[in-house]
Structure 1
Amino acid sequence: MSAVPATPPAASADPTSGRPAWALVPSRTVALCVVELQKLRHDRSEIYTRAIQPALWLLIFGETFSRIRAIPTGGIPYLDYLAPGIIAQSAMFISIFYGIQIIWERDSGVLTKLLVTPTPRAALVTAKAFAAGVKAVVQAAVVVLLAALLGVALTWNPLRLLGVAAVVVLGSAFFSCLSITIAGIVRARDRLMGIGQAITMPLFFGSNALYPVAVMPGWLQAVSRGNPLSYEVEALRGLLLGIPARLPLDFGVLALAAVLAIAAASSVMGRLAR
């Protein structure tokens, strides 16, 4: 009688500890976030170089349009109105090219090693999405300090600042997973760079980061309502400036967008390993 082959360990459990795969999500997320923080600690030049663009937006665009007074902001100084939009923009610019790192990990063999671990792909994507959020929060802190130096009347309420961090993380999770999804489709760094550059400006100018939705033409208002960046900017304005905002709606849209983006990125992760 032939021996019955041993049953291999389930792919959804950790063979070393017997824990279900979902139990690995928090530790895996924290580990990757720590890695991102260590990268920033060892190479602070990335923070400084990425702060140049938002500084130029605030110093040149913000100061100039504050003098022109051409954009209705409801009595708020234009520089104050602009600052949350630039925070969201800088976080998006960090996250939208996150897929390049995934392609690099594929080329170096790191991604293949991650995909053969018992951790589900959705957990890996979630961890990477929140790791991108950590970098975006650090960048947002730099922009907030810069805006404060320019005289922007921001709140320093700790609870509101925690809300700002949560908004930035959710927005960054969406855009980083969007980038990972595109990377899984094109599977080439140069193509991803081209697509990323092609969609960042429409996302930015098609939001309420620079001007109110009410002054947009009708077709652009429709685009803005479907743009997650608009809800991120609205939430940041409400939290940082104390102006009326639909915070439950904003958080709900951002959370839903992040979940859908994580699901999409997880579905194409296997293509990257081929």
Structure 2
Amino acid sequence: MSVPLAALPAASADPGAVRRLLSRVGTMCLVELQKLRRDRAELLTRAIQPALWLLIFGETFTRLRAIPTGSTPYLDFLAPGILAQSALFIAIFYGIQIIWERDAGVLGKLLVTPTPRAALVTGKAFAAGVRALAQAVIVLVLAAILGVGLTVNPLKLAGAALAVVLGSAFFCCLSIVIAGLVLSRERLMGIGQAITMPLFFGSNALYPVDLMPDWLRVLSHVNPLSYEVDALRGLLIGTANHVWVDFGVLAGSAAIAIAVASALLGRLVR
């Protein structure tokens, strides 16, 4: 969790302050993850959509050979993109939970505790990442069953897990930022649904960047999802990638998003 600390003004050179901050972030993350134990059925139902993408879209376009992906089978090319998509769909609506906590009075109580707002946001962001990882395992198992040539290198698998967590952290905080601006569940749902598919189709999840028109290529280069997918492809199936650039963009995006979400958090309880 060292990356987001760059965005936390409370983190000083004092080792004790850093330890307290990390402890509070960890506590908030554990609180969030406790909810996962009651949402096991939700994880399975959320896995249906990525499973359909792999089974129907992936298998069909692999047979059609309509999208050129070089020596990489299209299903192999697609699997990391669907993995990133499943994490996106979980994280982008996380702001609804923040609004629910505000309506229940929970958020107001949390904000008057000594815990920094950045620690609250970071805990939720990384909880979203771990929740996304739980679904990612389901997607990876299905991809392996379909014959996708996935790596078994534990270091690369750990790197892929980190990419999913960082990507989910960014989109979770983006959702919290939207919640802090619109202040209502209905508006957040509408905006979330409006931006989810453009984020997905405006990335390299379904097709190589080289096939995109120039305007879409520009959008892809500023879309954090593209960097998450690129990192996952390089780590999981061994395609050419810029993994250090990908992780740099993901970490920087997550840090900025945590800082902005923390600044807007108090607006929800005014």
TM-score of the two chains, using structure 2 as the length reference: 0.92
Is this contact kept in 2: 1:36–1:134, CA < 8 A?
no
Q: Which residue of 1 aligns with 2:163?
A: 167
- Say whether 1:205 aligns with 2:205: no
1:152 to 138, 148, 153: 148
Counterparts of 1:113 and 1:20, CA distance in 2: 25
Is this contact kept in 2: 1:84–1:240, CA < 8 A?
yes
- Say whether 1:257 aligns with 2:253: yes
Is this contact kept in 2: 1:24–1:119, CA < 8 A?
no
Letter in 2 for 1:68: L
Counterparts of 1:32 and 1:56, CA distance in 2: 34
2:70 to 65, 68, 74: 74
Counterparts of 1:184 and 1:40, CA distance in 2: 24
Is this contact kept in 2: 1:21–1:119, CA < 8 A?
no
Counterparts of 1:164 and 1:252, CA distance in 2: 14
Instruction: Kindly report which structure 2 residues correspond to 1:1-274, keeping only aligned pairs within 5 A, or say none.
Output: 22-274=18-270
Q: Name which of structure 1's ranges 81-90 and 123-132 shifts more when overlaid on structure 2.
A: 123-132
Counterparts of 2:164 and 2:121, CA distance in 1: 17
Q: Which residue of 2 aligns with 1:7?
A: none
Runs of 5+ unmatched residues, structure 2: 1-9
C-alpha distance 198-258 of structure 1, shift in aligned 2 (>3 A): same
C-alpha distance 250-29 of structure 1, shift in aligned 2 (>3 A): same
Structure 1 residue 21 displacement after superposition: 5.5
Runs of 5+ unmatched residues, structure 1: 1-11, 14-18
Letter in 1 for 2:84: A
C-alpha distance 21-193 of structure 1, shift in aligned 2 (>3 A): farther
TM-score of the two chains, using structure 1 as the length reference: 0.91
Letter in 2 for 1:56: L
Q: Which residue of 2 aligns with 1:3?
A: none
Is this contact kept in 2: 1:58–1:82, CA < 8 A?
yes
Aligned pairs, number: 258
Match of 2:147, SS state, is coil
Counterparts of 2:31 and 2:62, CA distance in 1: 40
Name the larger-Rg structure: 1
